Structure 1
């Protein structure tokens, strides 16, 4: 039984036999009752603003072009954010870190060879 419609009575519709057979096959594929399948189809057409007389092809192409335009808009916004916000911020942070880093002394090493131990010793020249 259809949920929410248990107490409603049935109404007869005049449908050709071939159309009724086709509709019943479709209802079996959908695993719904005939009433629920018909209600689902009507709500689909109403919600999407589609008329059964219109071709769906141009509508889908229109939707696809609209989605592509929106995606391109999002990409443009992200590039603008990267250009005007992210890159300058990264540059400022890098310059702060470069200034904050202590200067490293250049190590000049002198090589001494000890004759007694035959080892190499290094020392820092200041």
Structure 2
């Protein structure tokens, strides 16, 4: 038990014996004293604003919808980045490489043609 509650006195609650047995088994399974476990359960209900009589179905659906909205927002951000940053950058890079490749090909062809022309012409090349 927590130190703050060691000095408190015990109170009696009237609970049906079948409920008490079930509660004790559950407390043992969770490795908690009965008082602490009951307090943890009450804190859980209060913090999450849940009533034991409420069905958790709507809460689950709201949570699922929230997650879906967040995923849709994330997908929209990624598509935006792809559309305005990645694709234009890739297009610029590919156009640069295409221009560079086009510039290099004629130089290689010219050099081969000049070498075929003879040894005398090779000496007069100006790069």
TM-score normalised by L of structure 1: 0.72
Going by fraction, where is strand more abundant, 1 or 2? 1
Shift of 1:85: 2.0
Unaligned 5+ segments in structure 2 are 115-127
Tell me the residue number matched to 2:113: 125
Higher RCO, Cα 8 Å, sep 6+ = 2
Q: Deviations over 1:50-99 (max 9, x none)?
A: 11110112221221122112211211121112112222233234444555
Going by fraction, where is helix more abundant, 1 or 2? 2
Runs (4+) of structure 1 moved beyond 6 Å? none
* Contact 1:2/1:33 (8 A) holds in 2: no
Alignment coverage as a number of residue pairs: 112
Matched residue of 1:90: which SS? helix
Counterpart of 1:106 (choices 96, 105, 108) is 108
Tell me the residue number matched to 2:125: none
Determine whether 1:64 maps to 2:64.
Answer: yes
Root-mean-square deviation (CA), in Å?
2.5
Tell me the residue number matched to 2:9: 9
Whole-angstrom distance in 1 between the partners of 2:49 and 2:89: 47
